[in-house]
Structure 1
């Protein structure tokens, strides 16, 4: 075996071990509870945790007494404003990954690899959902008004606003969804799923201490 071949083999082995360690750390982090004493209140506001198989997000009412998204998420931002609905699914992630991967069949290794190393270019993804119902991929949880306010404020802070405090839409996949320019650096430690977990965690809701994978979020609900 030549020196180059040995070096290449060592690099591949190191990358494999690093990836395995990352997976194990992600599983372990998601098993450690944050806000372990949290209990779902008897009354409150229902939100949903959504899972599309890889990405998670949070579904909130489009408007209530605590948070009104009309100033940031408007029907005219959609390709077809008729799809504007009563609930909104919020996700956050890497800009290039979102825009170049409308379906998992479009995923390229180079796109996934670049996202893991991180980027300051990120987007909020908003889907309009009518009358959400509890399902395997949509878990309902009830929160107090204060917890709901904290969730809404953290999501709102992720929007990168333009002149006049307006959100900045950049198109979507279809007639009922839209992307918005966002704040935040995406990387392997701060994934879309860890963002979902951190929003819940910072609001005082029980979830894993670190949740880079979708199943690490959903197992708590």
Structure 2
């Protein structure tokens, strides 16, 4: 089958290595050892040995043999490089979670993005086959209308975000300046929220594509001759 062929191709180039993972505002970026299992479609990560941090050295065997620190299901995910620098990329999971990672350099990032996308594609197609029954026509139409409304709402949100940014940049007030910390924080939160909505819409679009019925074919059905 085509799915098995794609998975076998991914198995030839098994991904593993050290990446920085964004944890939270307090802890920031933390080194983790990541491995991808193309057969199961899981991205797992482990704690790095303190002596090997930043050296791309695999943890000790007993660490890899233990339960991973965390796992990410790649089926239905979206892998995309960040435009903030040449090393950062993110994985928007079908569950709604987003994992932000950073490679050592631009080349390593591209290798990870390409490899992860190959695994995502193979397992998403397998998921599509297992969930091949489409929604009923009425629910499919309602979902399509909801997507149109969501796109319109996101467009208005983008306009409001742009208007807010311009208003802050051009503010003329004795009490505030464009570099006021509170205004900069407001601007950053607005931009981040808009980007998050973009990711959510992408996941919804992917889910809608999975549930769309196949297009009708133009094949003619042969009519059996009538025996008189």
Q: TM-score higher than 0.5 here?
A: no
TM-score when normalising by structure 1? 0.24
- Greater percentage in helix: 2
| Structure with the greater alpha carbon radius of gyration | 2
